[in-house]
Amino acid sequence: MTIKEILIKYSNDLENISDTPRLDVEMLLKKALGDVDSMYIRMYLDKELTDEQEKYFLEMIKERLNERPIAYIIGNREFMGLDFFVKEGVLIPRPDTETLVEEIINICNNKSELNILDIGTGSGAITISLAKYLNDAHVTSADISDIALEIASKNAVSNDVNKKIDFIKSDIFSNISREEKFDIIVSNPPYIKKEDIPGLDRQVKDFEPYNALEGGEDGLDFYRKITEESKYFLKNKGILAYEVGHDQASDVIQIMKENGFESIYTKCDLQGFERVVIGFYNN
């Protein structure tokens, strides 16, 4: 089959599975053809795939037709202009989270010797982006998952920031010393209500790690735990920064107020939802 024939046939086949069927097919084609770029696909529409290339593509498209996320199939996802290796066991980085990272960068861009703690490393998207774009920052990155820490460490090396990051296996603050104080604690914790998990898209609930999704009965368990304990780890006027679910900002603000945080504000994502909550702690 030619590139053009594959684009037409499999874009149609994916219409009921993906919001971006042509883009999905193009990404799989680029992988099958040896990691070529999009311009190559457009310039060589009449090119016939070799038997080996076609076999590789058909293996991948079969997985996609079974609703396996494209990022897991090709093994990477772009975030904040950086490339991240991903596989099952870590949450796939999402554009919504860039709003959180961008706001922290805006707050801290002119500050020096920043000490940052990221709770819930995952693929390392937040940790590595902050280490990359904040010149004078050191990031401690904590996760309870060995798979997450392994993948994030790999991504730190590939993005050349491994010397600015310490990865620690920790259940929230369990292995973080109270002697160490942070300018910023940031987290994109699990925040989906337990009862809502069965209703999630199959591509999420059947492939992405359950522990990175479920946030308790009301989705707020981790916000309560992190906010209550963060006071013991923040410097004076330290910042606590969260990503929240699209309807959770007011609840998280209340939790932060009850724990003594001040000057709390939100930032909206591109769709207009309040997806970031940031507060300051005076100790």
Per-domain residue ranges for the chain?
A: 3-66, 88-281
* 94 close to 119: Cβ distance less than 8 angstroms: no
Q: For the residues 237-263, what does the mean pLDDT come to?
A: 96
* 267 close to 252: Cβ distance less than 8 angstroms: no
The distance of Cα 252 from the centroid of its chain, to the nearest Å, equals 20
The 3-class secondary structure across 47-71, one letter per residue, is CECCHHHHHHHHHHHHHHHCCCCHH
pLDDT in tens, 146-172: 999 999 999 999 999 999 999 999 999
The class of domain 3-66 in CATH terms is mainly alpha
pTM as predicted: 0.93
Q: Which CATH architecture is the domain 88-281 placed in?
A: 3-Layer(aba) Sandwich (3.40)
**Which residues make beta-bridge pairs with 261?**
281
pLDDT in tens, 114-142: 999 999 999 999 999 999 999 999 999 99
SS3 182: strand
- pLDDT grade, residue 270 (50/70/90)? confident
Encoded amino acid at 211, one letter: N
